Structure 1
Amino acid sequence: MPSPAVTPKLSATVQDGQLRLEGELTVWTLGRLPDGAAAATRLELSGLTRLDTAGAWYLSNRAGSGARLDGLTEAQARLLDSVTKARPQPDPEPAAAAGWRRLFEATGRWVVSALVFLRELAEYLGRFLAALARGIRHPGDFRLTSLVYHCQETGLRAVPIVALMSFLIGVVLAFQGAAQLRQFGAEIFVIDLIAISILRELGILLTAIIVAGRTASALTASIGSMKMNEEIDAMRTLGLDPDMVLVLPRVLALIITLPILGLIANVAGLVGGALMSWVELGISPSMFRYRLIAETSVDHVIVGLSKAPVFAVIIGIIGCHAGMKVGKDAESLGAETSTAVVNAIFAVIVADALFSIFFSEVGL
């Protein structure tokens, strides 16, 4: 804004908490107010010869802070009133719900957010299936190298921790089962306890939980870092489909490797149980093997391993979905990574409970 040709004049004096202004209070003279003007509680304005909207805004702020304004002309008072009415007013805070209403409101918000989350997961599942169908129709678009790499990362590198965990679970089951069954002279049934528990439930469930904690966080971190660096936008610019490049190889690698990890977990758990049965109960490995083959149905193995592909899809979809939701800051990456691990583990446990109910109803 150009400065006026003639410099406006303003006289401002502060005495005993009173600010006396004489001359022109405009946008050009506001910067000349003395330092003590802000502390004045009374403003004497009868000497003002000119007042514009900038000066009226200043006076409106002072009046809002409790200062008294004296000496304004009728025209100046109307201008001040117009400026005061034009001040933006914040929206009033909604009254907080109380009692049962607060509980119902919180429950409703949680239900809506859960439904939105499930809808987003269904969308990503559909995108994965569409990418899989495209890869089958056009094998040239499928990235085999990426699939092999993710099989190594999610499967091969998880073998030691999965095998060790399952071995220790078998040891604990044998030890605790022996302590309880010995009271009834039924030590031999510890073999059935170990076999059914590991083959049907614990082997694949604990493997899926380990993979959920290990792989869901890795999927979110890798895709999320690409989202932060705008690499996914660059893929779309180059004509590459992120579902084909990022989602399909990762989820497919989980579908391939999780049943294998489940089988390794079953074997390691049975070995741990057999070892502890030999040490604690004196049941020889040959007796353990005979009882296992004679009394344990193969249905338990089928029931356990049939859950693996479903768990793999759940873990992969949740991890990729969380990675795609990462924002532009590192805080968002950390929050989404933690959320992905919690959601994946929770979803795996819920799915296992539903499987248990289903197989119980069909008689398996």
Structure 2
Amino acid sequence: MLTIGKREASGGAASGGDHRPQVAVAEREGVLVCVLSGIWTTRTVAFVDAEMRKIEARKGFAAIALDLSAIEKMDTAGAWLIHRLVSTNEGRGVEVRISGSSDAADILLGAVREAVRGDRSAAERTPPNIVIRALEAVGRRVFEMRDDFLSAMNILGATIRGAQLKLGRGHAVNPAAIFNQIDRMGVGAIPVVVLMSAIVGAIVAQQGAYQLSYFGADIFVVDLVGVLILRELGVLLTAIMIAGRSGSAITAEIGSMKMREEVDALTVIGLNPIGVLVFPRLVALVIALPCLAIIANFAALGGGIAAAWLYSGITPAAFLERLRVAIDLSTIFAGLIKAPFMALIIGVIASVEGMKVGGSAESLGLHVTASVVKAIFVVIILDGLFAMFYAAINF
């Protein structure tokens, strides 16, 4: 709240003492003369607000003259009351004359006038139609995608180029950090990966057997489960679970370090934050995800064997015998080839979102959510691109 004294408001000397704001009104030859006096501040303007509103409602004069020379003190609340009187009369076409104010008072009244005008223009601004808003949203997303891509290439390039723990010192990578991350992201994820894959494999087998039984082709459920799990679902489900489990953890860890300025501290002491924080996690993901995909394939096939045995009476021996005919090495490698690329995508996206975290817990939560959503989306897109590529080369 800006406050100016009488010397600044009117240019005269302060008379001392606290006085309530007063307005002396007289009409001379069609001009309404208002002499304002006293202290016009937040604590006192309530005493004169009703009288000022009565003056605003008066009509029948061609001009209004405001004399501010007797004001002892004024802040933005008093200036707003004066501005309200001025703007009301100007809106009716009445000429307003202000006298007795100093440069400081003029600046204060001008600031209040600009603030009120800005609020009014913002309120009167009509929102764009739905087409413009949709195009604007698309444009913003495109620019965000560009920024994310550049950040991802920066992290990936710095990881591939350097992979040092210290800037310019050629320090070797710490294997303990990589094995620690493999233990957390790989070994720790085995139970949930096995459980989810076994359930999905059983569901695919049960639904396939149910549909194929109408054609007397129950045995072909083995082909369905084997090809679908080994080429697509095994690695895709594993990548999605790792994106939700490990990708969010990477974003949360790096983001919390960014919030506590630990990332900046690493740079200050001469360490490369990407080499220290990102590189071990990327290497661990590239190693762990293919291994988890293999485990997921076995678990899903196990679930498929159990469901086929219980639902269609196909024994495990018959299932395995038919599986040998249905698949070959290309089926297995078609799925496993995708795993390292998906791991890189998950790790890079998680690291980018972690580096973008601001200084609040809300920012951390938003970027963790964005990390999981973006990673899953890009992983699915990558799986579709691989499918089209395999079809093009007849693999």
Structure 2 residue aligned with 1:8, among 15, 20, 24?
A: 15
1:360 has 2:391 as partner: yes
Label 1:33 to 1:47 Cα distance change in 2 as closer, same or farther (>3 A): farther
State the one-letter code of the partner of 1:300.
T
Once the two structures are superposed, residues 282-334 of structure 1 have per-residue CA deviations (whole angstroms, 9 ceiling, x without a partner) of 22222222221233111011010000000000100111111111111111111
State the one-letter code of the partner of 1:290.
E
Structure 1 residue aligned with 2:311, among 270, 274, 280?
A: 280
| Aligned counterparts of 1:74 and 1:283: Cα–Cα separation in 2 | 99
Equivalent in the alignment of 1:155: 186
State the one-letter code of the partner of 2:386.
F
Provide TM-score, normalisation by structure 2.
0.78
Q: SS state of the match for residue 162, structure 2? A: helix
1:221 has 2:252 as partner: yes
| Aligned counterparts of 2:75 and 2:219: Cα–Cα separation in 1 | 94
Q: What percent identity do the matched residue pairs reach?
A: 35
Structure 2 residue aligned with 1:347, among 366, 375, 378?
A: 378
Equivalent in the alignment of 1:40: 51
| Aligned counterparts of 1:283 and 1:74: Cα–Cα separation in 2 | 99
Label 1:183 to 1:30 Cα distance change in 2 as closer, same or farther (>3 A): closer
Structure 2: any 5+ residue segments left out of the alignment? 8-12, 27-33, 57-63, 90-95
Label 1:61 to 1:300 Cα distance change in 2 as closer, same or farther (>3 A): same
Label 1:83 to 1:331 Cα distance change in 2 as closer, same or farther (>3 A): closer
Give the deviation of 1:17 after TM superposition: 11
Equivalent in the alignment of 2:100: 76
Equivalent in the alignment of 2:61: none
Equivalent in the alignment of 2:114: 89
State the one-letter code of the partner of 1:232.
V
State the one-letter code of the partner of 1:196.
V
Give the deviation of 1:9 after TM superposition: 4.0
Provide TM-score, normalisation by structure 1.
0.84
Aligned residues: 354
1:322 has 2:353 as partner: yes
Label 1:303 to 1:3 Cα distance change in 2 as closer, same or farther (>3 A): same
| Aligned counterparts of 1:284 and 1:78: Cα–Cα separation in 2 | 100
Decide whether the 8 Å contact of 2:68 with 2:99 is kept in 1.
no
Label 1:183 to 1:13 Cα distance change in 2 as closer, same or farther (>3 A): closer
| Aligned counterparts of 1:129 and 1:219: Cα–Cα separation in 2 | 19
Structure 2 residue aligned with 1:303, among 310, 334, 341?
A: 334
| Aligned counterparts of 1:354 and 1:226: Cα–Cα separation in 2 | 35
| Aligned counterparts of 1:349 and 1:115: Cα–Cα separation in 2 | 19
Decide whether the 8 Å contact of 1:326 with 1:336 is kept in 2.
yes
| Aligned counterparts of 1:283 and 1:34: Cα–Cα separation in 2 | 90
1:249 has 2:280 as partner: yes
| Aligned counterparts of 1:195 and 1:86: Cα–Cα separation in 2 | 74
Q: SS state of the match for residue 327, structure 1? A: coil
Structure 2 residue aligned with 1:62, among 62, 72, 81?
A: 81
| Aligned counterparts of 1:34 and 1:287: Cα–Cα separation in 2 | 93
State the one-letter code of the partner of 2:83.
G
Decide whether the 8 Å contact of 2:148 with 2:352 is kept in 1.
no
Give the deviation of 1:348 after TM superposition: 0.7
| Aligned counterparts of 1:58 and 1:350: Cα–Cα separation in 2 | 58
Equivalent in the alignment of 2:30: none
Label 1:315 to 1:13 Cα distance change in 2 as closer, same or farther (>3 A): closer
| Aligned counterparts of 2:368 and 2:107: Cα–Cα separation in 1 | 53
State the one-letter code of the partner of 1:155.
G
Give the deviation of 1:219 after TM superposition: 0.5
Label 1:40 to 1:124 Cα distance change in 2 as closer, same or farther (>3 A): farther
| Aligned counterparts of 1:2 and 1:350: Cα–Cα separation in 2 | 68
Decide whether the 8 Å contact of 1:121 with 1:321 is kept in 2.
yes
Decide whether the 8 Å contact of 2:255 with 2:357 is kept in 1.
yes
State the one-letter code of the partner of 2:336.
L
State the one-letter code of the partner of 1:306.
I
| Aligned counterparts of 1:363 and 1:110: Cα–Cα separation in 2 | 35
Give the deviation of 1:16 after TM superposition: 11
1:179 has 2:210 as partner: yes
Decide whether the 8 Å contact of 1:235 with 1:242 is kept in 2.
yes
Label 1:308 to 1:17 Cα distance change in 2 as closer, same or farther (>3 A): farther
State the one-letter code of the partner of 1:63.
I
| Aligned counterparts of 1:167 and 1:74: Cα–Cα separation in 2 | 84
Give the deviation of 1:280 after TM superposition: 1.9
| Aligned counterparts of 1:45 and 1:267: Cα–Cα separation in 2 | 91
Equivalent in the alignment of 2:148: 117
Give the deviation of 1:197 after TM superposition: 0.6
Q: CA RMSD in A?
A: 3.6
| Aligned counterparts of 1:230 and 1:50: Cα–Cα separation in 2 | 55
Decide whether the 8 Å contact of 2:225 with 2:304 is kept in 1.
yes
Q: SS state of the match for residue 89, structure 1? A: helix
Equivalent in the alignment of 1:266: 297
| Aligned counterparts of 1:334 and 1:133: Cα–Cα separation in 2 | 30
State the one-letter code of the partner of 1:76.
G
